[in-house]
Amino acid sequence: MNTITVQISIDRTRTEKFNSYRFADHKEEVIELIRKVTTTSMETMAIINRMGNEKE
């Protein structure tokens, strides 16, 4: 599985005042979004495969 990297700002003021994102706070939403994207991709591939079979 690929890893995701997060770029951290060197500007201390911006980092201290606005860097409040925590993955743990959004974990369930991110997992649900990944599930939806994966399902949509798989359904799209199934449709494309069926369309290819109908042409033959």
**Domain annotation covers residue 10:** no
Number of domains composing the chain: 1
Q: pLDDT tens digits, residue range 4-44?
A: 676 665 677 766 776 677 778 889 999 999 999 999 999 99
Confidence of residue 46 (pLDDT cuts 50, 70, 90): very high
Q: Which amino acid is at 46?
A: A
pTM over 0.85: no
**Domain annotation covers residue 38:** yes
**Domain annotation covers residue 28:** yes
Q: Which of 19, 37, 20 has its CA nearest to residue 29?
A: 37
* Gap between the Cα atoms of 51 and 24, Å rounded: 41
Quote the pLDDT of residue 53. Answer: 81
**Domain annotation covers residue 17:** no
Quote the pLDDT of residue 55. Answer: 67
State the residue range of the domain holding 34.
22-55
**Domain annotation covers residue 6:** no
**Domain annotation covers residue 13:** no
